[in-house]
Amino acid sequence: MSARRDTTGSYVAGLAGLAVTIFVVLAVAAPNFLSQANLTSMGSQFPEFGLLALAVLPTMISGGIDLSVVAISNLAAVVAALLLRAGPELALLAIPAALLTGLACGLLNGLLIAVLRLPPILATLGTLQLFGGLAIVITRGPAITGLPAWYASYGNASIGGVLPVPLLVFGLVALALGLLLRLTATGVRMRLFGANARAAQFAGLRERGLILRIYGGAGVIAALAGLVILARANSANADYGGSYLLLVILINILAGVSPAGGFGTTLGVVFAVLTLQLISSGLNFLAFDAFTRDLFFGGLLIVVMSVRVLVENGLVPVPRLRKVSLP
Amino acid sequence: MAEPLLTMSGISKAYGPVRVLENVDLSLSAGEVRCLAGENGSGKSTLIKILSGVVAADGGTVTIAGRRLGNDARAAIDAGLSVIYQDFSLFPNLTVAENIAFLRFVAQGRRWNNIAEQRRLAGDVLARMSVDIDPRVLVETLPVASKQLIAIARALANDARIIVMDEPTTALTRNEVTRLAGIVAALKDDGVAFLFVSHKTEEVFSFCDTITVLRDGHVVAAGAVGDFDADRLGREMTGRSIAHERIARADAPPQPVFLETRGLTRRGDYADISLELRPGEIVSILGLLGSGRTELAQTLFGMVAADSGEIRIGGEPVAFAHSSEAVEAGIGYVPEDRLTEGLFLDQPIGDNITVASLEQSASGGLLDRRSLAERARRAVERLRIRTPGIEPPVATLSGGNQQRVVLARWMERSPALMILNGPTVGVDIGSKREIHELLVGLNRSGTALLVVTDDIGEALALSDRILVMVNGRITAAFDPRTADEDTLYAAVTTGGDR
């Protein structure tokens, strides 16, 4: 039996290099790219799908997946929109209610997986329909509009004129998740459970509590994405972001997260999100048709995965970054 | 004897700088049963892979019935070679007849599935072996011994003249071994030759005509079975005299019972188990695969529920709903299958060691990574795990060192009871003795050890008491200071019919 070598460290470094390269190329090729207007606009575009990708990350590290994140974020946005519209007294409850909705949805996923032992991909495929259907029934189809103006103005504000609020939210969530994965017992257990669920049981890990926490957390992060989207779109739509689900999975794969579980880093997801956003903006700047975006994303994913397999099998020589061992 | 059916001569093989086989000769005549003996890592499996054409040799030749074979698995099968691996490689979801006919029909390049002909072929082969198994039943419903017979039948159906069997008696009761020996003897008379890959002395001596011993890739001894006895065989395999007598120890001072069971029963697995374990004591449960030993061990660890009876810890009844509760109660468990149950193979050695004791290095919800690394490094040193560091994946270690990692995991918790299911399965003889000594040493610090095993030598070397488990019941208890291997072997393998 051969071990999968953990190439995550050097892989993430490579991904960062790719993001920087694209950034430099665009900065040189397109004069307006470095303008503050463009940077700010980019900074408020990617956090919504970036957050969704972060929501999926812990589920994939633990050997599962959450297909329902987009549906959860829409349902949370709908709940928040209804409360915002209901009047100033209830508007304050909008954010906590949205987060609670996300938590409840995530816990339902967790229960289906931990207690009924449904495979995560099937459980969350079911709840994807369930949550999406619930949002449609609530809204009866059309988007909920007419939100109080303050919500969008806060949600789209830039702190100090440079740091868009959505970017701040994304940064804070990434930081918190990164700390959780690296520096808490839960994070280590998540990774080991994902690497071998059977061995985790023999090591006395409480998998039920772990799964509930993972999917509950994913629900909360998805709800945050819903709140960010609500501010940007200034409306709540039951079927917003239909193409986000595949994009979000793509980001995680590009980030070097193992679909089999056990490997994946927050930093990887951050760089994967940046890379895709840069490519997407770059295509606009270089006057490519908007329809070519998917072509590039798909091509990039295939190339990156192929290169990774070739490197892991030693078919392409790569200088190995020395892992810095702890003192 | 006539011209050998199989000749391997001058076989050499290296993986990079590591020389795995060096000028190995082996021959097999029609009707001969030869044992290929050697420790893990001696090159046995590489030799079999070269023989079966899966791996190419760097030098030397393989000749079957005068025809020289290259590195071609298909040609080896066509020449009448059949390898039966330990897991038999059967299709559990297909019938006996389909399994038996499969290889032959594939070899003949058939495109259509002829059920009637499959049944006929299976019936003929089973009749030739004088085995009575219904060809229509699904293989997954059969006991292990029958599966093995199906694997032999499949080889015969494909006109095998040389059958290689890997560790053939691991899961068999005495009656089943006798039956297998009868079938092997009958097939020998038909001119079928067998090569048994084994390191179990009992089966070597009860089956084989000749022995070839491999050590470090060299043939160190070969000859008729009469030239060997158990001591010589062990010495040739390891290159030194390995002590296998009971490890000396001071008697544990009498202490109150830590864990006891009363009439513990789980239908179909074990019945009416009553036992007592005291701190500082090593108790072995000696039983064959399928005797209910694993289910009993897992029940004590909270992974399998009993139907009736009770478990008491320190006199208080407990009912574990989950392994984590057993861990809380001070129990550790070293599972049978290290690779799938014991280890997180691709994950760092350090995490594999500290996984069950993370909370010891946490404060305020955050892990102290330095303390984790420190503890892992100390454990590596204490258990003499041979590794350059705690960062590499645990899969890079050898079997014996991997097992130490699992032991280290529980020693971090200083458990009151450690259950070890097959603690040295797949560990070579030299490393095995070291692990035994380690366990006896660990035990002096007041941990109770429950060792579940089918290895009589292991039970004798380790235990303070030996309980024999047959067919789900504890049938006898022995004092290892006075019991001998033959008595234990008889106790473990009798009454095992089902």
Determine the pLDDT at residue B166: 83
Q: Is the pLDDT of residue B498 over 60?
A: no
Q: Is the pLDDT of residue B227 over 80?
A: yes
Higher pLDDT, B104 or A205: A205
Query: What's the half-sphere exposure (Cβ side, CA atoms, 13 Å) at B497?
Result: 4
> What would the DSSP string read from start to end of A107-150?
HHHHHHHHTS---HHHHHHHHHHHHHHHHHHHHTSSPB----HH
Q: Is the pLDDT of residue B244 over 80?
A: no
Closest in A4, A6, A203 to B356, CB measured: A203
Tokens representing A26 are 């665009």
Q: Taking the domain B6-238, which CATH number applies?
A: 3.40.50.300
Whole-structure pTM value: 0.79
Distance, in angstroms, between B358 CA and closest chain A CA? 6
- Please name the CATH architecture into which domain B254-330+415-498 falls: 3-Layer(aba) Sandwich (3.40)
Q: Is the pLDDT of residue A308 over 80?
A: no
- The 10s digit of each residue's pLDDT in B295-340 is 999 999 999 999 999 999 999 999 999 999 999 999 999 998 888 8
Laid out side by side, the sheet with B18-28 consists of B18-28, B6-15, B59-64, B67-69
- The 10s digit of each residue's pLDDT in A52-84 is 999 999 999 999 999 999 999 999 999 999 999
Determine the pLDDT at residue A3: 43
Q: Are residues B355 and A203, on separate chains, in Cβ contact within 8 Å? A: yes
Determine the pLDDT at residue B355: 95
Q: Is the pLDDT of residue B169 over 90?
A: no
A203 contacts on B by Cβ (under 8 Å): 323, 355-356, 409
Determine the pLDDT at residue B399: 78
- The 10s digit of each residue's pLDDT in A212-263 is 999 999 999 999 999 999 999 999 999 898 889 988 998 999 898 988 899 9
Q: Are residues B347 and A326, on separate chains, in Cβ contact within 8 Å? A: no
A321 touches B at CB < 8 Å: no
B335 contacts on A by Cβ (under 8 Å): 199, 202
- The 10s digit of each residue's pLDDT in A114-126 is 999 999 999 999 9
B362 touches A at CB < 8 Å: yes
Please state, in angstroms and rounded to a whole number, the distance separating the CA atoms of residues B377 and B374: 5
Determine the pLDDT at residue B137: 92
> Which string of b and e fits B473-487 if b means at least 16 CB within 10 Å?
bbbbebebeebeeee
Domain map (residue ranges) of chain A: 9-22+35-312
A4 contacts on B by Cβ (under 8 Å): 346, 393
Share of chain B above pLDDT 70, in %: 94
Determine the pLDDT at residue A323: 41
Residue type, B170: T
A205 contacts on B by Cβ (under 8 Å): 324, 355
Give the pLDDT mean for B56-83.
87
Q: Are residues B346 and A205, on separate chains, in Cβ contact within 8 Å? A: no
Determine the pLDDT at residue B364: 84
DSSP code for B247: P
When the pLDDT of each residue in chain B is averaged and rounded to a whole number, the result is 87
Q: Are residues A192 and B351, on separate chains, in Cβ contact within 8 Å? A: yes
Confirm if B211 and B240 have CB atoms less than 8 A apart. Answer: no
Interface test with B, best of A202, A207, A210 (most B CBs within 10 A): A202
Give the pLDDT mean for B426-445.
80
Determine the pLDDT at residue A216: 98
Determine the pLDDT at residue B463: 92
A149 touches B at CB < 8 Å: no
Determine the pLDDT at residue A327: 36
A325 touches B at CB < 8 Å: yes
- CA distances to A1, A166, B32, B480 from A186, in Å: 28, 27, 58, 44
The residue to which tokens 């209901």 are assigned: A86
Q: Are residues A206 and B322, on separate chains, in Cβ contact within 8 Å? A: yes
Q: Is the pLDDT of residue A6 over 60?
A: no
Laid out side by side, the sheet with B270-277 consists of B270-277, B259-266, B308-313, B316-318
Give the pLDDT mean for B262-276.
93
- How would residue B167 be classed by pLDDT, with cut points 50, 70 and 90? confident
Q: Partners of B331 in the beta sheet?
A: B417
Interface test with A, best of B15, B303, B323 (most A CBs within 10 A): B323
Higher pLDDT, A185 or B18: A185
Whether the domain at B6-238 and the domain at B254-330+415-498 fall into the same CATH topology: yes
Domain map (residue ranges) of chain B: 6-238, 254-330+415-498, 349-413
Least confident of A36-50, A307-321, B377-391: A307-321
A324 touches B at CB < 8 Å: no
Determine the pLDDT at residue B70: 79
Q: Is the pLDDT of residue A177 over 60?
A: yes
A9-22+35-312 adopts what CATH topology? Answer: ABC transporter involved in vitamin B12 uptake, BtuC (1.10.3470)
Determine the pLDDT at residue A314: 66
Tokens representing A314 are 């030693």
- The 10s digit of each residue's pLDDT in A312-327 is 776 655 544 444 433 3
3-class SS of residue B68? strand
